[in-house]
Amino acid sequence: MKIVLAEVPYTKDRYIGVEQSCCPEGAELKIAVFDEHSDDNSAFYKEIEDADIIINGYVYFGRKEIDALKKCRIISFQSTGYNEVDLKYAEEKGIGVCSILDYCTQETAENAMALMLNLQRAIRLYDRSVQQDHVWDYLVARDMHLKRIAGQVMGIAGLGRIGQSVARKAQGFDMPVIAYDPFLPPEIAEKLNVKLVDFDTLLAESDVISIHMNLTQDNYHMFNKEAFQKMKKRPIIVNEGRGALICDDDLVWALDNDLIRGAALDMVESENPDLSECKLLGRENVLLTPHSGYYSETSDYLVAKYSMDNALYYYNGEYDKVKVMRNNVRG
């Protein structure tokens, strides 16, 4: 059995001890690195060619990558999301796709709140003013027009496990919460004291919009120029979902045209961005973190273990033990 960890350049040197400990005796564990900014990924394609199992986080497996898999039976995602694969084509080729659940709910919700609070209270600006500029003056944040958080409306796009955790935390700051989630049973929102609204209402009534959706073909670039123009209260945008839910160019446009107060993003459109080309950098009202919202020592262990367990359960025909199957391939 050959198991390949599909990595991008910034994850290629990560700790893989958990995956190693989960490997069956005699199994081969390899790392294959794909760089979307490189013209030569031949080593990646060669490494995955005879893989039985792919463990994947951020590499997109489209037709070319799937066609390169000559033996693979399962692509196991180290995430709840599964947008980094052509799901239909994988099914046509007889390759299963699975993902995991509930390994970083608290970390991601905590990070969403931390990003929101940092922008709302100008923490980064004040800290830099004191530590780097040696200026002790609360008025350095005057141009950021800071508002009292209590009473601001928190709008949540995607009221799943993470969105629900954010809702409870926001209510602890005396923020009324509304949410857009067309798939959620209304009784769940009612129990949380969250008002379900349509997407346009979320855009119009929110002071903060916190995004917690998986990426699909239907919601790609859901937050675009048209959406930003419907935001009546100049909200802060927080994204802990997937980068391509927001059109980066349109977000820059919204910031430049003062349609939003700021943006706090745990990811951008690309999972391996060329930061030299990123127009979001250098803005006082933009916070960027490298898809680290999920991270703690606990969640890092769980994501590695659960994704390996999923892959091995599938490989051994124990399909009922797989956390979440994302297509209908069995065997």
Q: Are residues 205 and 277 in the same domain?
A: yes
What is the per-residue burial (b if ≥16 Cβ within 10 Å, else e) of 208-224?
A: bbbbbbbbeeebebbbb
> How many beta carbons lie within 10 A of that of residue 254, not counting itself?
23
- Choosing from 73, 107, 271, 326, the catalytic residue is 271
**134 is known as an active-site residue:** no
pLDDT for 271? 83
**271 is known as an active-site residue:** yes
**145 is known as an active-site residue:** no
Residue type, 185: P
CATH assignment of the domain containing 119: 3.40.50.720
Q: Are residues 132 and 247 in the same domain?
A: yes
Query: What is the rounded average pLDDT for all residues in the chain?
Result: 96
d(CA 298, CA 322): 21
Beta bridge partners of 30: 4
- Dihedral of the CA atoms 257, 263, 265, 268 (nearest 10)? 0
Average pLDDT over residues 99-117: 96
Q: Are residues 96 and 176 in the same domain?
A: no
Look up the domain containing 282 and give its range.
Answer: 105-288
Q: Are residues 265 and 317 in the same domain?
A: no
pTM of the model: 0.90
- Choosing from 73, 212, 261, 291, the catalytic residue is 291
pLDDT for 331? 72
Confidence class for position 272, pLDDT limits 50, 70, 90: confident
- Does 330 fall in a domain? no
d(CA 321, CA 13): 30
Residue 287 has pLDDT above 90, yes or no: yes
Q: Are residues 208 and 256 in the same domain?
A: yes
- Does 254 fall in a domain? yes
pLDDT for 73? 97
Average pLDDT over residues 158-177: 98
- Choosing from 242, 284, 297, 318, the catalytic residue is 242
Structural domain total, the chain = 2
